């Protein structure tokens, strides 16, 4: 909540804090990671020394107090990390109070929502599980969770086969993982692949670097020559496009196809056929959106002049 800059400011503050309070106390060979205010690091020293480091970090700033969870098995966000004789094993972490609830299959959502839930759960289990036994246990939990939320068994099996079939070799006749080697091949194939959010982040970084490079080149050209280069405006790729939106309902599953068919029949041999028609859908507003207005009208935000 609050200003959009709050999270950025908090990260800047935590970066300065961790640099002075934590990073200097752990060795360069240790593992350290932080997500906003959740911290994980390894420490190959006695427990008393770890507690001394945490106590010193708590005294660094009055507003930052760490609640430490020290042991050979700890959780970090949704990841459970277990130290087995110096080897770190990971699995999906489920909070004790967590309920096995996802979007129910009988809910009036677009069909791709249900398939995405299955694909995302399997992908997370595969990336987090270090062994086949851990993955199989999580896969069974995913299946039970889906059955609990009224997903048909045949629907679950179909998407499970699609997931394993895409990841394994095309010559494989078995859609499921048969042994540890297949699991490792599948995991090593999917681990380097970026998630949607990671791709978006890299795209923003690349776009920023490209713009910065262009600006530097323009600056150099201006210093060596008096020639000015005017930027050409980008063409609008949606110039000849019509957008239509409708509220999604299960009974209207063929509405997109019907609208495209009617549009083609009505505007055939006219100038309207040159326009591209794009149809999109919106979900139904839930009770929270219907009853709660997060932002008041602009007229209420204007200051009232004093008499």
pLDDT at 118: 93
One DSSP character per residue, 184-246 reads HHHHHHHTTSPPHHHHHHHHHHHHHHHHHHHHHHHHHHHHH-----PPPPPP-TTTTEEEEEE
pLDDT at 218: 65
pLDDT at 228: 47
Rounded CA gap, 103 and 116, in Å? 11
**Best CA proximity match to 37, nearest among 10, 62, 58:** 10
Residue 28: both structure tokens together: 């360069």
Rounded CA gap, 290 and 287, in Å? 5
Ordered by start, the domain boundaries in the chain are 5-70, 111-190, 241-285
pLDDT at 168: 55
> Which residue ranges in the chain fall short of pLDDT 70?
1-3, 166-176, 178, 210-212, 215-216, 218-234, 285-297, 300-301, 306-307
pTM of the model: 0.64
- Planar angle of CA 62, 67, 69, nearest 5 degrees: 155
- Planar angle of CA 137, 141, 146, nearest 5 degrees: 150
pLDDT at 145: 94
């Amino acid at each position: 909540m609050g200003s959009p800059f709050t999270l950025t400011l908090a990260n800047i503050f935590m970066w300065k804090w961790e640099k002075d309070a934590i990073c200097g106390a752990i060795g360069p060979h240790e593992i350290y990671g932080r997500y906003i205010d959740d911290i994980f690091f390894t420490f190959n020293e006695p427990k008393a020394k770890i507690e001394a480091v945490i106590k010193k970090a708590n005294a660094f700033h009055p507003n930052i107090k760490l609640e430490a969870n020290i042991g050979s098995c700890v959780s970090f966000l949704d990841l459970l990390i277990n130290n087995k004789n110096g080897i770190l094993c990971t699995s999906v972490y489920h909070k004790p109070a967590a309920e096995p609830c996802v979007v129910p299959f009988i809910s009036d959502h677009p069909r791709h929502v249900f398939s995405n839930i299955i694909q995302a759960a399997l992908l997370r289990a595969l990336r987090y599980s270090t062994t086949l036994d851990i993955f199989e246990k999580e896969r069974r939990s995913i299946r039970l969770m889906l059955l609990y939320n009224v997903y048909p068994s045949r629907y679950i099996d179909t998407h499970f086969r699609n997931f394993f079939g895409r990841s394994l070799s095309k010559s494989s006749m078995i859609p499921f993982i048969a042994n540890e080697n297949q699991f490792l091949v599948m995991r090593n194939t999917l681990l380097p692949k970026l998630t949607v959010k990671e791709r978006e982040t890299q795209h923003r970084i690349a776009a920023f670097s490209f713009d910065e490079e262009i600006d530097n080149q323009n600056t150099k050209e201006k210093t060596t020559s008096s020639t000015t280069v005017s930027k050409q405006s980008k063409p609008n790729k949606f110039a000849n496009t019509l957008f239509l939106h409708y509220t999604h309902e299960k009974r209207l599953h063929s509405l997109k196809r019907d609208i495209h068919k009617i549009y083609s029949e009505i505007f055939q041999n006219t100038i309207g056929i040159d326009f591209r028609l794009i149809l999109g859908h919106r979900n139904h507003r839930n009770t929270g959106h219907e009853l709660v207005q997060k932002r008041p009208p602009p007229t209420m935000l204007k200051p009232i002049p004093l008499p």
